[in-house]
Amino acid sequence: MAALVYEIFSSSALVSLGLYHLISTTRNYLRSPQSYLAKPFHPFPLPSSNATGNHRFKHLQLYLAILCLLIAFVHQVLISSDSDPLLKGHTPVHRFTSLQSAAVLFLFLLLSLSLLLSDSDVLPLPSDLFFAIAAALFFLQYSVSSSAASVQTSDLQAKCDSVSASISSLAALLCLILACQPRLFVADAGLGAAFCLQGLWVLQTGLSLYVDAFIPEGCHRLLDVVSGVESSTKCELEESRLRAVAILDLVFVVHVMFVVLIVMVTYAAVAKTLGIRRSVGSYQALPTAASAADNNHIQMKALTGTQA
């Protein structure tokens, strides 16, 4: 039960971060497409903030990210000390994979802290350098997840880790692109979508491993194993294993389709909120009632002057 709660917490944090990044990125792009630059951090907007944008909730995104990373780091350290009755030889494999995940989370925590200090002018960190470091950390996460998938004796856990590694590699590629081409809006929006996809897949992992109703037919949990460690879910027959893997592949495609829908709806909603309409080759703001009245007034004056 504790493992499922942690998966739900991680999923909520990743999806929230992805949505916030996607909305902020889209809003910045639609406001000024010509001067758009990708930002690693988007201050939390408040209508009552002053002209300089300095308010107490400005770094709310970073505070929440640091808190979530700290909780995830502590969780990985704690589960690395769990006893595992199923060992490969004499090596508790799950301890090493958990400690590797904890190390990666700690590096992300340090990066978030450095970004907070950078925005406070204590430790200046250029955006391109931040994206380059983030790309390296996501690639490290990809390596850790791939390694975990290769040593798992649970077929479902290995498949879930493999898909998670693929999403991490996508995030690493997008961060590397943004480090080289910070004006590329598609890559910045894709990074937010990757966070959402990773969050949804974390939730799917928790359901597929720890909720009996979502475990594919022919597979089951081993009740004598600590929840969340390797080999906690097994498929007895090869046919059941192949069927379970195929189901997870199909579910992953459904998640991708859902994320694409989220991106499209977010873009449309932000454009409608800002009053942006599509024109040939560019984006223009929709005329407001005041601007329309001014235009009519100018046209009437011009018409009166012509008749005179």
- Does residue 64 surpass a pLDDT of 50? yes
- Does residue 19 surpass a pLDDT of 50? yes
- Does residue 292 surpass a pLDDT of 70? no
Mean pLDDT of the chain: 80
Per-residue confidence (pLDDT) for residue 131, from 0 to 100: 94
Q: Percent of the chain having pLDDT more than 90?
A: 44
pLDDT tens sequence across 142-193: 998 888 777 766 778 888 889 999 999 999 999 999 999 999 999 999 999 9
Per-residue confidence (pLDDT) for residue 283, from 0 to 100: 52
Contact 217, 240 (CB under 8 A): yes
Per-residue confidence (pLDDT) for residue 241, from 0 to 100: 84
pLDDT tens sequence across 70-88: 999 998 888 777 655 444 4
Per-residue confidence (pLDDT) for residue 10, from 0 to 100: 92
- Does residue 295 surpass a pLDDT of 70? no
Q: How many CA atoms lie within 13 A of 126 on its CB side?
A: 7
pTM above 0.85, yes or no: no
* Long-range contacts, 264-269 (Cβ 8 Å, 24+): 266/19, 266/22, 266/23, 266/26, 267/26, 267/189
Per-residue confidence (pLDDT) for residue 5, from 0 to 100: 87
Find the helix or strand (DSSP H, E) in which 16 lies: helix 2-31
Task: Specify the DSSP class assigned to residue 212.
Answer: G
- Would you list the domain boundaries of the chain? 2-274
pLDDT tens sequence across 93-150: 667 788 899 999 999 999 999 988 887 767 777 889 999 999 999 999 999 888 877 7
C-alpha 188/C-alpha 96 separation (Å) is 33
Contact 138, 118 (CB under 8 A): no
Per-residue confidence (pLDDT) for residue 211, from 0 to 100: 83
Mean pLDDT confidence for 262-291: 70
